[in-house]
Amino acid sequence: MIVLRNIFFEKHLPFLGPSASVGGFYLGPIYYWMAAPFLFLTKFDPIGPSYMVAIFGVATVILLFKFLNETIGFWPSFLVSLLYATAPLIVRYSRSSWNPNPLPFFSLLLIYFVYLGIKSKKIRYFIGAGAALGVAVQLHYLALVLAPLALIIIIFNEKIKKVPLIAVTAVLGFLIAFSPFLFFEIRHNFPNFHTILEFVTRGSTVGYQGPGLIWKLFDGGNILLEFISGMKSTVYTRIMFLVLTVGSIAALAATWKDKQKKLIYSIGFSYLIVGILLLRSYKGEVYDYYYGVIFPAPFFLAGILTEKAFKNKYSKLVVCLLAALILIIFLKNSFFFEKPNNLIKQTEDISNFIIEKSGGNPFNFALISKSNSDQAYRYFLEIKNHKPIQLEEKITDQLLVLCESSSCAPLGNPLWEIAGFGRGEIVGEWDLPKYGFKVFRLAHWSGEPSPAGKPAIKGI
């Protein structure tokens, strides 16, 4: 949020995005660029970018319905889109601001453009597919699995001699969307590319391991369905993935000579089955959001496999009853029954209290916490025009210390934001009983010259 705010307040447009969760490298800036207008429109309320994510979440449902409706008809498309829209994990990741959260939309958009390009035989759609990949990779690097996945779909359905032209066209679209990050890398001698190369070549023994390809496929598929549904350690997710896998292989084999049917079934098979195998090639620890690149895949595949069921009233009834049962499970496992934590309101209230106790005078700020960062407090202090002075910039006459516990000792604490202030004494202390926190005001110890007005220098 601080980076997004600085786009408007400091006129600084970033060409480097958020840091990746592992590896010490950074993503492209596209998430910042997409989120910034929403922060501005909500008057810098940090909930603003969440509206953007929610819009992409709804757009994914619409795109899934549109894609399927063009191929299998209204009712199966409606049912699987309804299930996608209510899946617990997907809803959870469609309502909060985080760079991987819009990934399902751009993943599905890429697949849709590939479908349109093959079906219409118009090369321009592959520019769109490449651009969708360029955006997706800036949201999370595991989106790179979409490139070989799309290539497999193309090879399934196009003549080999056309593949080079399609690939060149897609790369052009990719470079257009990826150009902001590429510009940063070229200008700074490719620091992230070097770090990424070092990371992927160092090797790892962490994460899921298994005896073979089949194990990886079915274990990964089960994990995906468990994540999406909220159902843990149950045979039902294993059965469902087995049905999807066997069904897709059988349907693809049966329609191999029908170009239109083969296209849609090869997409369903590749999107889910090949997608899982590619994701499982990553040897690091796999978190639920890593699967975001294929979140729509099981719903898409389920939709196309139920197409024939809707042509018979009995099988149609069975599918509808099964969909209703899954919908009930999804709603039962939803977050709707959880009490909200109201962390934004809490952070804003505490920030207002700190502003009050600063007396309107310049101050340094420190947070003593076991697991939290002070950035959220600093954000609210900044947007309320009471930005704490950085110690490296200037030591002020007062240090306001927030303790996220009912008991802590700020004097002598080794935290840089406290130690850099110099030797101090407590001149104010207040309890925040609603949250179990405390706020201290420290002044410089009168027994030695005050360092106020000077910058604090780390390491000295």
Residue 4: which pLDDT band, with cuts at 50, 70 and 90?
A: very high
Mean pLDDT across 70-92? 94
Q: Yes or no: say if 314 and 98 are a contact pair by the CB < 8 Å rule.
A: no
The kind and range of the H/E element at 326 are: helix 313-332
Q: What is the pLDDT, as a whole number, of residue 211?
A: 60
Residue 206: which pLDDT band, with cuts at 50, 70 and 90?
A: very low
Q: Yes or no: say if 155 and 163 are a contact pair by the CB < 8 Å rule.
A: yes
Residue 41: which pLDDT band, with cuts at 50, 70 and 90?
A: very high
Tokens of 414: 């080794």
Task: Choose the weakest-confidence range: 19-23, 120-124, 315-319, 399-403.
Answer: 19-23
Q: Lay out the sheet containing 424-432: strands in order across.
A: 364-368, 398-403, 437-444, 424-432
What is the Cα–Cα distance from 4 to 35, expressed in whole angstroms?
Answer: 8
Per residue in 271-309, pLDDT tens? 999 999 998 887 767 789 999 999 999 999 999 999 888
Mean pLDDT score across all residues of the chain = 91
Residue 205: which pLDDT band, with cuts at 50, 70 and 90?
A: very low
Spatial CA neighbour of 244 closest among 224, 226, 264, 269:
269
Amino acid 369 reads S
Per residue in 158-204, pLDDT tens? 999 999 999 999 999 999 999 999 999 998 888 888 887 776 665 55
Return the DSSP state at 339: P
Q: What is the pLDDT, as a whole number, of residue 23?
A: 63
What is the Cα–Cα distance from 376 to 14, expressed in whole angstroms?
Answer: 20
Q: What is the pLDDT, as a whole number, of residue 147?
A: 96
3-state secondary structure labels for all residues of 12-36: CCCCCCCECCCCCCECCCHHHHHHH
Q: What is the pLDDT, as a whole number, of residue 371?
A: 85
Spatial CA neighbour of 381 closest among 370, 392, 372, 389:
389
Q: What is the pLDDT, as a whole number, of residue 209?
A: 52
Return the DSSP state at 388: P
Mean pLDDT across 203-229? 75
Spatial CA neighbour of 226 closest among 150, 298, 274, 171:
298
Spatial CA neighbour of 261 closest among 417, 157, 106:
157
Tokens of 236: 């039902």
What are the φ/ψ torsions at residue 425 (nearest 5 degrees)? -140, 150
Q: What is the pLDDT, as a whole number, of residue 208?
A: 47
Exposed/middle/buried for residue 371 (C-beta within 10 Å: 0-12, 13-18, 19+): exposed
Q: Yes or no: say if 308 and 294 are a contact pair by the CB < 8 Å rule.
A: no
Mean pLDDT across 331-336? 85
Hey, which bits of 175-238 come out as E strands? none
Per residue in 379-432, pLDDT tens? 999 999 999 999 999 999 999 999 998 778 899 898 999 999 999 999 999 999
**Ramachandran assignment for 339, one of left (phi > 0), alpha (psi -120 to 50 degrees), beta (any other):** beta
The number of CA neighbours under 13 Å toward the Cβ of 173 is 23
Tell me the pairing of strands 424-432 and 437-444. antiparallel
Residue 210: which pLDDT band, with cuts at 50, 70 and 90?
A: low
What is the Cα–Cα distance from 78 to 328, expressed in whole angstroms?
Answer: 16
